[in-house]
Structure 1
Amino acid sequence: MSQDANIDDVHEPITSAPPEIRQIIERVWKLEKGRLDKKSNGPINEDILKIIKEEVR
């Protein structure tokens, strides 16, 4: 299996998700990326829960 096929397999659930779900995934991804850039190890659960609640409204 090629590298491109593996990447497509990983991205498929995201690309096929409804727009609302993709928005949640993108916001959580940006949150986690920012935390990794800052090397922050604090709790993230409350931040993810806040994102989901905002998107559900």
Structure 2
Amino acid sequence: MSTELDIEDVQAPITTAPPEVKQIIERVCRLEKSRLARKSKSAINDDILGIIKEVVQ
């Protein structure tokens, strides 16, 4: 039971975030997952910045 509460606590900022923030989080997670699958070592900051700019506009 404690584990279930811990997971909810961790996810609370995501589940209560505005839709734009949720979209950024989801897209960055997908990006990171694909980079891990490819074992990419290149910088990710520019990609994340691009996602944020797209969502904010």
Indicate the TM-score class for this superposition, using the shorter chain for normalisation.
over 0.9
| TM-score using structure 2 length | 0.93
Q: Deviations over 1:2-41 (max 9, x none)?
A: 1111111110000000001100000000000111111111
Moved over 3 A (4+): none
Partner of 1:15: 15
Q: Quick one: distance in 2 between partners of 1:51 and 1:44?
A: 11
Structure 1 vs Structure 2 CA RMSD: 1.1
List runs of 5+ in structure 2 lacking aligned partners: none
Amino acid at match of 1:10: V
Percent of aligned pairs with the same amino acid = 61
Aligned residues between the structures? 57
Equivalences for 1:7-46 in 2 at 5 Å?
7-46=7-46
List runs of 5+ in structure 1 lacking aligned partners: none
